[in-house]
Amino acid sequence: MRDTTAGAAVRVRRREEGDLGAYVRVLAAVRDRDGHPVDWPAVPSAGCSSRRAPGAAAALYERLRWTLPATVEQEWGPDRRVAVRAYAAPRPGA
């Protein structure tokens, strides 16, 4: 996929297993800046495999006893709609 942002060409490619360390570092930097995700795993790379990421995220939420109150459809661009699973954290002390 190619895009142009402020006159600079941007190339986006599929993540590869060798990218995992840098990927986790970027996620950690985002978490430090924005506070998301709130619950940081002890081994952040464990669920970040490019082959397992979507299922691993759902498994993590479910293991932490989050509930799935809704799956909603979002528009991610022209002619592209995706199903997004909306999880809710358990109440504190529950």
pLDDT on residue 49 = 58
Residue 62 and residue 68: Cα distance in Å, rounded?
8
Q: Which two tokens mark 91?
A: 């109440």
Query: Model confidence over 13-26: pLDDT tens digits?
Result: 777 778 888 888 88
List the domain boundaries for the chain: 18-88
Model pTM score? 0.41
Query: Residues 67-92: what's their mean pLDDT?
Result: 88
Rounded alpha-carbon distances, angstroms, from residue 82 to 37, 39, 62, 70? 21, 25, 21, 14
Grade residue 7 by pLDDT with cuts at 50, 70 and 90: low
pLDDT at 34 over 80: no
